[in-house]
Amino acid sequence: MKPLFIMTGITAMICLAPLKADKIADHEKRFRESALVFGEIMQAADKGIPHDLLDRAVCVAIVPDLKRAGFIVGAKYGKGVLTCRTQGSWSAPSTIRIEGGSVGLQIGAGETDLVLLVMNERGKTKLLEDKFTVGGDASVMAGPVGRSAQAGTDAQLHAEILAYSRARGLFGGVSLEGTTLRPDTDDNHDIYGPTARQSEIVNGKYPATAAARPLIDELTKESPVEKK
């Protein structure tokens, strides 16, 4: 009877291995897509995220390609990454989920990417909670675009989170009122281990994986941590 149990366990492990590999491949693809999205947005000359705002941000969240998440008029579901400034580097990225709420009509224009700048420690603290509502638990504004933030309103410059979207080549600030964000604990466990917590990941406890390096390098190129 004992050999039967052993064989059953070995068979289960063999069957689960491809599933684990597929999940890791999905995570790595999300890291690469996030790096590509951020790089393209920052190369948009006068229509990108102002560098002076990026240099002030304590964290950046990127949610690439939401067309698969069913965004039409209201938000439904999407996955992205969150990275924060740590001692000497941007942190390894944590996987986040975005759900519910309303993000305006532009979000339904096809392929859509979201970028969130978390502008202060209070916004970061809220973002690191198990689940929080944008606009309810933390103030959020559509972010200004251009080479600098001089055209931004006083409200924008004092918001805890600034939100941007890109759809069909159009880039600009977007409203995310009522949208909820939370860490994807299962994904983070796949990447960093069964005890990894989002707060530990973005505060530098875990090193970035090789697949995440292009994203870290892109952020560092546009806004070195030393500028903080």
Cα–Cα dist 36/146, whole Å: 19
How large is the average pLDDT for residues 107-117?
71
Q: Residue 148 belongs to what domain range?
A: 25-227
Domain count of the fold of the chain: 1
**pTM over the 0.85 mark:** no
Task: Let me know if residue 153 belongs to a domain.
Answer: yes
Angle at CA of residue 9, ends 7 and 14, nearest 5° = 95
156, part of any domain: yes
Check whether 108 has a pLDDT greater than 60. Answer: no
pLDDT tens profile 172-225: 777 777 778 899 999 999 999 999 999 999 999 999 999 999 999 999 999 998
Whether 8 is in a domain gets the answer: no
In a domain, 135, yes or no: yes
Structure confidence by residue, pLDDT tens digits, 54-99: 999 999 999 987 654 444 445 456 889 999 999 889 999 999 988 7
Alpha helices in the chain (DSSP H): 2-42, 51-56, 121-127, 154-157, 185-192, 198-202, 213-222
Whether residue 7 is contained in a domain is answered as: no
97 inside domain? yes
- 47 is a domain residue: yes
Between 174 and 143, residue with greater pLDDT: 143
Contact 188, 83 (CB under 8 A): no
Q: How far apart are CA 103 and CA 72, in angstroms?
A: 9
Cβ 140 vs Cβ 176: under 8 Å: yes
- The answer to whether residue 11 is domain-embedded is no
